[in-house]
Chain A
């Protein structure tokens, strides 16, 4: 056999391998092929090729495996059980950048499925190898390494803590300032995934000076980066008052409202979440946000958007109003209630958004009679009642509606608004309505007049009450505000009594 023939054989073998791994890599990039590939046991075929003598075959085989594993969790489990991961992780620092990218793709695909798989990835000592990758100069390698960290930290607090313990946070903060936009996105996303779990983790992230850097990125033209930036800020701010204050101190506040009108929906939603998370902590923070001009921005936001994007803005209004009576007045004066009412009455809206709206309205109306009147003036009470009595609404929704009704009713002294409730509300709501009437009527003669005229007195007497109940007591209080004849005239069955008396009456000549 000549040398040429030998070379030809070798070359053909190499070509064959190359062709195989490339085809597999392409096939594996489509989800619908997974079943066939699994049945063909492609994974077992690819595993030896990962140790091939030719580095490009190695790299493409690893890439194919990564894609394969990314599409199905079962294969990921199989891969973990097959003890392939330690081998990949150990060889990671020695190989070139292309291989590193492919290997991190495998790790990422395994880790993204579940916390158990992510734990398995961490247990192989992946994090230390990834730290070496983060030292690399190539932004692509860095990006894919950070992506793995991101997928690991996403699952639970322990895994996020492991990522932090490996010393990833300073690297992430450094990568966040790189010129490559993709790298920045991934780094910010990883920070978001780390800080969402607990206060300690958020604190660690905040301590590295992340917030100041993030604050500069707010007006970055890149949409995906902006999404992540607002996500991190809200994840950091949600845990405690101190962290929220740190976020506020970065002077994000008047600026972020511009992004409430961003063309991208996720950016808008994340900004609204940020406002909501900051506002929920204390009245001071709420006041600060309000002073920065949050209310018109939020109200416009609710008006301009559709669907569940509005939820955080609605919640933010509720939180702001819940803190102090002045802030609730500010919400009312910024025309927040018509918008909220519109959301509440929109049947097509998701139920949880409407529930949140009901809660917010309850928070606004529960401060004083003025607030209650402002809320009741928008005809909110019958809507809430309808939601509460409707069998279609979920338990949570009914509960929220009931609490809101209670909150508003307990402060409402605007009797025309209460009147429709008198007609068709269940016993437990009726109680609050009657209590309000019994408070107002003894002091207001005009109200008494309209009360009788509108037939409310009759309705009140028709209510069935258990003797000795609180309701009965209040009804008696109301009755005592009127002369006896009037009360008797409007009592049920009085016409029959009159007729009876007429029959018994003997005219004397």
Chain B
């Protein structure tokens, strides 16, 4: 209401316009109102649009700025990481390449030198071949020299065997009347065996005895104590004549040796016996001290001086005449020496040794 009143006042204060004109104008106004409104709206739309767009642009600009900075910052940061990684990879590749080279060379060198030295192996095998050849030749030589010996030994043993056979079959030898089986009349000449048979001599028991005696080297004393029972008694026909009985002879022959006292004992036996007696006495004695009579018991005692007094240099005054030096003038300081605890050797060694 106040508002209308104010309008009225304002209107009245204005120079009065003619009513006609006024009406005209009002009508015109009424007619144009629609148009004006549309125009105003258009203008407002444009203006507002302009403003909002400007504002939006402003906002976008701001956002872009922020984003630009952020993105720049962020990308720079991640790029830095990327760059660092790339550099690291490249470095690693480089180092690896170098390490491979070193390892390759070293391993090659090491293996060639210590593990599989081709040239050493080649030389070894070649040397081995040469050595093998030498061994073959040497073996052949040795065996060649041995073969003669083996052959000779074989022939010898064969010979011995044939001789033994000839000994055993000596009855096959040919006689003047009957030719033996090795001396057939149909043969041109007698066989080799015939020669052997002729040459063969019967083996004598004494010969065997000698061989066995040579083999056993017995002590003569032991021999005499050998019991005769191992030899079977020869129970021949009883000999004629007034001979002693055979068993008696045997007993006499196989009597053990009885040496005389002079032979049986040692030359120095008397001295040895005396020595032995002495030793025996010493061995069996219970007390080594000389036995003293009981009668004058006191006199038996010997005076035993003290160790100190019996010393050649006399006794020491300390302990009898004086005990401790009391002259203080000779002291370096008046304070008594402090006793210091000795260090424990274990701690001294700490860290300097392994355990």
Contacts and interface: CB of A to CB of B under 8 A. Distances in A.
Interface of A: 11, 18, 54-56, 96-98, 137-139, 180, 221, 254, 257-258, 260-261, 263, 290-291, 293, 295-297, 300, 326, 329-330, 333-334
B227 interface: yes
Contacts, number: 64
Contact of A221 (B121, B153, B235): B153
Given A56-B229, A261-B143, A333 B125 contact: yes
B136 A300 contact: yes
A467 B125 CA distance: 48
A293 B135 contact: yes
Interface stretch (B89-97, B126-134, B189-197): B126-134
Given A139-B215, A258-B142, A297 B229 contact: no
Contacts of B74: none
A257 B136 CA distance: 10
Given A221-B153, A293-B135, 13 more contacts: A56-B230, A96-B229, A138-B216, A263-B154, A290-B128, A293-B134, A295-B132, A296-B132, A296-B133, A296-B139, A326-B124, A326-B125, A330-B128
Contacts of A293: 131-132, 134-135, 139
A300 B132 CA distance: 11
A330 B125 CA distance: 6
A303 B157 CA distance: 29
Contacts of A137: 216, 218
Contacts of B218: 137
Q: Which of B129, B139, B149 has the most CB of A within 10 A?
A: B139
Nearest to B143: A261
Contact of A291 (B131, B216, B235): B131
Nearest to B212: A140
B100 interface: no
A96 B132 contact: no
Contacts of B133: 296
Q: Which of B124, B129, B135 has the most CB of A within 10 A?
A: B135
Interface in B139-184: 139, 142-143, 146, 149-150, 153-154
Contacts of A54: 229
A82 to B, nearest CB: 27
A54 B216 CA distance: 25
B336 interface: no
Nearest to B136: A296
14 contacts: A11-B235, A55-B230, A56-B232, A96-B229, A96-B230, A137-B216, A138-B216, A261-B143, A263-B150, A295-B128, A295-B132, A297-B135, A326-B124, A330-B125
Contacts of B146: 258
Nearest to B238: A4
Contacts of B124: 326
Contact of B139 (A98, A261, A263, A334): A261
A279 to B, nearest CB: 15
Nearest to B150: A263
Contacts of B153: 221
Nearest to B149: A221
A171 B247 CA distance: 41
Nearest to A330: B128
Contacts of A334: 128-129, 132
B128 A291 contact: yes
A228 to B, nearest CB: 19
Q: Which of B125, B128, B150 has the most CB of A within 10 A?
A: B128
Nearest to A60: B232
The 8 closest A-B pairs by CB, nearest first: A293-B135, A296-B132, A55-B229, A261-B143, A296-B136, A56-B232, A96-B230, A263-B150
Overall SS of chain A's interface: helix
A40 to B, nearest CB: 26
Nearest to A257: B139
B227 A96 contact: yes
Interface in B205-249: 215-216, 218, 227, 229-230, 232, 235
Q: Which of A54, A139, A296 has the most CB of B within 10 A?
A: A296
A96 B133 CA distance: 59
Contacts of B134: 293
A115 B186 CA distance: 59
B135 A296 contact: yes
Given A11-B235, A258-B143, A97 B230 contact: yes
A433 to B, nearest CB: 29
A368 to B, nearest CB: 12
Contacts of A96: 227, 229-230
B139 A297 contact: yes
A160 to B, nearest CB: 31
B230 A326 contact: no
Contacts of B149: 221
Contacts of A139: 215-216
Nearest to B134: A293
B135 A257 contact: yes
A50 to B, nearest CB: 15
Nearest to B222: A137
Contacts of A221: 149, 153
A260 B136 CA distance: 12
Contacts of B235: 11
B221 to A, nearest CB: 13
A329 B131 contact: no
B139 A333 contact: no
Nearest to A180: B215
A297 B135 CA distance: 8
A18 B150 CA distance: 44
B130 to A, nearest CB: 11
Q: Which of A54, A138, A221, A263 has the most CB of B within 10 A?
A: A263
A158 B227 CA distance: 39
A261 B149 CA distance: 14
Contacts of B154: 263
A420 B21 CA distance: 134
B34 to A, nearest CB: 90
Contacts of B135: 254, 257, 293, 296-297
A142 to B, nearest CB: 12
A333 B135 CA distance: 15
Contacts of A258: 139, 142-143, 146
Interface in B237-292: none
Nearest to A300: B136
A329 B118 CA distance: 13
A55 B129 CA distance: 68
Nearest to B235: A11
A318 to B, nearest CB: 18
B125 A329 contact: yes
Nearest to A96: B230
A145 B227 CA distance: 22
Contacts of A291: 128, 131
Contacts of B131: 291, 293
A293 B142 CA distance: 14
Nearest to A221: B153
Interface in B110-127: 121, 124-125
Nearest to B120: A326
B156 to A, nearest CB: 12
A326 B121 contact: yes
B43 to A, nearest CB: 84
Nearest to B129: A333
A136 B216 CA distance: 12
Given A295-B132, A333-B128, A98 B230 contact: yes
A56 B142 CA distance: 51
A98 B150 CA distance: 36
B212 to A, nearest CB: 10
